[in-house]
A and B are shown apart, each in its own frame.
Chain A
Amino acid sequence: GQQVMQIPQYQHVQEGEDFTTYCNSSTTLSNIQWYKQRPGGHPVFLIQLVKSGEVKKQKRLTFQFGEAKKNSSLHITATQTTDVGTYFCAGKRQTSGSRLTFGEGTQLTVNP
């Protein structure tokens, strides 16, 4: 079945440092979504990428979708303590309807 892998599993940074998490799918995706889950919370939608090579920005967050539509990344510039949480990518296969397959997540901690 489809697998979505994410690295790193954990990332500890000092406030102000940058952070990147990478996501790789075993199959070509129709689109990829990113979610953030605060400790003790539920996943919250951040963004969806659909086109090959697409890049989207939300303030300090930059999302990329690979040319082959099998990988994606999320980059946060100048992290803040409010960025703490686990970031999940979630891929949708071209044949899977609306089912999302989540990656393992990257847990980000930010030291003030």
Chain B
Amino acid sequence: EPEVTQTPSHQVTQMGQEVILRCVPISNHLYFYWYRQILGQKVEFLVSFYNNEISEKSEIFDDQFSVERPDGSNFTLKIRSTKLEDSAMYFCASTRGYEQYFGPGTRLTVT
């Protein structure tokens, strides 16, 4: 069964550094998402992406964040200058209809 993959599984970075989180959505899916989940808390929507552009973004998704689909398979989330409060699990998800398929996540630790 096809699945969403994410790399790396764990990223440790220093405050102020840039990080890029990578996702490979399921190949025939059209909508892509990034969510984050701070440890023990709920899943929070960051951004949705369709037809090579952002379709919606949340209040969390400020100028420090950006997304790209640099080629036909990858979908990336960049955080320009990480803060301590960016430490969380970041999930990528994709869908063709309404059922969102989540990747295994990248645990980002900002020190």
A contacts, CB < 8 Å to B: 1, 31, 33, 35, 37, 41-45, 48, 88, 90, 96-105
**In the complex the two chains form, what is the Cα distance from A98 to B102 in whole Å?**
15
> Contact flags (1/0) for B26-57 with A, using CB distance below 8 Å?
00000101000000011111001010000110
Contact indicator A102/B44 (Cβ below 8 Å): yes
Residue B95 is within 8 A (CB to CB) of chain A in the complex:
yes
Q: CB-nearest residue of chain B relative to A48?
A: B98
Give bound CA distance, A97 to B49, whole Å: 11
- Per CB-CB distance, the 8 closest pairs between chain A and chain B, nearest first, are A42-B102, A102-B43, A45-B99, A104-B42, A102-B42, A99-B56, A43-B102, A97-B56
Please tell me if the beta carbons of B31 and A98 are within 8 angstroms of each other in the complex. Answer: yes
- Across the interface, which residues of A come within 8 angstroms of B59, CB to CB? 1
Residues of B contacting A: mostly: strand
Tell me, in angstroms, the Cα distance from A35 to B98 when the chains sit together.
Answer: 13
Counting contact residues on chain B (CB < 8 A from A), the size range is: 20 to 34
A105 close to B42 (CB less than 8 A): yes
Whether A33 contacts B102 in the complex (CB less than 8 A), given A96-B56, A97-B55, A102-B44, comes out as no
Interface, chain B (partner A; CB < 8 A): 31, 33, 41-45, 48, 50, 55-56, 58-59, 91, 95, 98-105
| 13 examples of A-B residue contacts, CB within 8 angstroms | A31-B98, A41-B104, A43-B43, A43-B100, A45-B101, A88-B43, A97-B56, A98-B31, A98-B95, A99-B56, A100-B100, A102-B45, A105-B42
Partner of B55, one of A90, A98, A101, A103: A98
B45 touches A101 (CB 8 A): yes
- Bound-state Cα–Cα, A102 to B60, Å: 15
Query: Known contacts being A42-B105, A105-B42, is A97 close to B100, with CB within 8 Å?
Result: no
